[in-house]
Amino acid sequence: MLDALWFNPNEMLIGGTWKTAVSNLPLFNPSDGSLLAEIANGSAINIDEAVTAAQVARNGKWGQLSATERGRILTKIGQKVLERVDDLAEIEAYDVGKPLAQARADAVALARYMEFYGGAADKLMGETIPYLNGYTVYTLREPHGVTGHIIPWNYPMQIIGRSVGAALAMGNACVLKPAEEACLTALAFARICGEAGLPDGALNVVPGSGIEAGAALAGNPNVQHISFTGSVHTGALVQRAAGVNVVPVTLELGGKSPQLVFNDANLTAALPFLVNAGIQNAGQTCSASSRILIQRGIYNSVRDRMAEAYCNLTVGPAMADMHIGPLISERQKALVLEFLAKGSDLTIAAQGKLHDAPNNGAYVLPTLFENVTADHPLAQDEIFGPVQVLIPFETEEEAVAIANNTDYGLVAGIWTADGARQMRLAKSLRAGQIFINNYGAGGGVELPFGGIGKSGHGREKGFEALYGFSTLKTIAAHHG
């Protein structure tokens, strides 16, 4: 059972006060289907209260801190997260079903985001602009004010780190609505922020349903920026709701990211990335590589090597720390099984194995499909489960056409020794991040991340996120 909780899971944080909600929602352990906790079912009224508390914080102590002071607090939060990495990892493993080592990596990444944005807080500068004689013109970067953060269940700690970290660094006050399927590390993080001296109201956390709490946050007229990570359908709803108030949104909506493997690729280097990028976090990763495009000359060899790796994949409870845990929920499992049924006309190259997996867990076997055509639903739609398709191609032009032929454009990987081809493809592939002879680049917090097309718009992570979480003011002084 979950031992690491040091807080009451059914509370929400509004203006520095931990409160209970009028009603609760059940939170399940996806590894065995048991009830893990009751969490607050925050209402639209609670969201209004949280937005008001954030406004008070902006106009009060939090808003008066210098950039350096904000940075110091964020850095301290990062240190405190590091001290609690094991507890956070255990909570996340129980809540999300993520194998323990992967949950631990997320906790370390959360700390790293806080360190990065702590250091960056006082380093985003405006500029002076040469202008007409008699003028001095300069620009200031200012916070939006109150920012709303609607996050999903697949990487709660990493997504909190990248969006709340950058928003706080710029001096915004945040209202965070975690996903109803997994919100415990959001609450743990808020506790840690308080211990590190983050002023009341700078971060408010209201768990609750998307339909009520999420929609109330997206449409709140006193929020000045919304950051959303989740499905295309909900992202469009959030953008529409924010649009009524003319509020900017950053949308990170997932993808169908390819890896392109050419005849001259170093297969020994490529193989672990080809497989891991599809099955990490049970494939519930926005930048999962669910399409592997393989040039004909090495197709059989890559298929055989990937199939062998798949046969050795084990699936089991998060705390047993195997390659793959359960999916987040029975609902997600049903969605993935529907996709597997759509693949009944395809050939399965290999599947992994269940290992000591309790009957009521949301487990799905990792499945590798071979010889898939580019227009098949499994090669077009985001599955969000441990499923990859192998697509053969003959020429570079064909590979680019296939790679670019989905609604998405989040990331893409290229495996080739040919430097000129690397450069050509880096330009012609439609995606927000391109990886050459690697995939994911270790997930660096420093690297701007976001997509094009249905993968969304705006960039999070890195210094670039600070531009998104601030607004530019131009000052023109006429002094003769």
Q: Report whether 355 contacts 316 (CB < 8 A).
A: yes
Residue 227 touching ligand TXE (CB under 6 A) = no
Least CB distance from residue 427 to ligand TXE, whole Å?
A: 25
3-state class (DSSP) for residue 142:
strand
CA distance 248 to 225: 5
Nearer to ligand TXE, 115 or 382 (CB): 382
Q: Which among 252, 370, 382, 460 is annotated as catalytic?
A: 252
419 in the Ramachandran plot: left (φ > 0), alpha (ψ -120 to 50) or beta?
alpha
To the query of whether residue 142 is one of the catalytic residues in this protein, the response is no
Rg of the chain (C-alpha set): 23
CB of 51 to ligand TXE, least distance (A): 14
Q: Confirm or reject binding of residue 319 to ligand TXE (CB under 6 A).
A: no
**Of 174, 183, 193, 286, catalytic:** 286
Residue 387 binds to ligand TXE (criterion: CB under 6 A): no
Site residue total, ligand TXE (CB under 6 A): 26
Instruction: Identify the residue among 253, 294, 362, 374 touching ligand TXE (CB under 6 A).
Output: 253
Task: Pick one of 90, 180, 200, 370: the residue that binds ligand TXE (CB under 6 A).
Answer: 180
Q: Between the CA of residue 225 and those of 1, 150, 260, 301, what are the distances in Å?
A: 39, 11, 36, 49
From candidates 92, 106, 115, 252, binder to ligand TXE by CB under 6 A = 252
Task: Calculate the CA dihedral of residues 405, 407, 413, 414 and round it to 10 degrees.
Answer: 20
Q: x-or-dash pattern for ligand TXE, window 274-293, by CB under 6 A? A: ------------x-------
Question: Quick one: which of 382, 412, 433, 459 contacts ligand TXE (CB under 6 A)?
Answer: 382
Q: What is the DSSP letter of 287?
A: T
Q: Which is nearer to ligand TXE, 363 or 384 (CB)?
A: 384
Both tokens assigned to 36: 């893990």
Coil, strand, or helix at residue 116?
Answer: helix
Contact assessment for residue 452 and residue 429, using Cβ atoms and an 8 Å cutoff: no
- 179 or 362: CB nearest ligand TXE: 179
Q: Are 77 and 114 in contact (CB under 8 A)?
A: yes
Considering only residues 44, 56, 267, 335, which one is a binding residue for ligand TXE as defined by CB under 6 A?
335
Which residues between 139 and 178 bind ligand TXE (CB under 6 A)? 150-152, 154, 177
The DSSP-derived string for 176-205 is EE-BTTB-HHHHHHHHHHHHTTPPTTSEEE
As a whole number of angstroms, the distance between CA 407 and CA 360 comes to 35
Q: Is 215 in the site for ligand TXE (CB under 6 A)?
A: yes
**Residues paired with 243 in a beta bridge:** none
Active site residue 174: no
Active site residues: 252, 286
Residues that bind ligand TXE (CB under 6 A): 150-152, 154, 177, 179-180, 210-211, 214-215, 218, 229-231, 234, 237-238, 252-254, 286, 332, 335, 382, 384
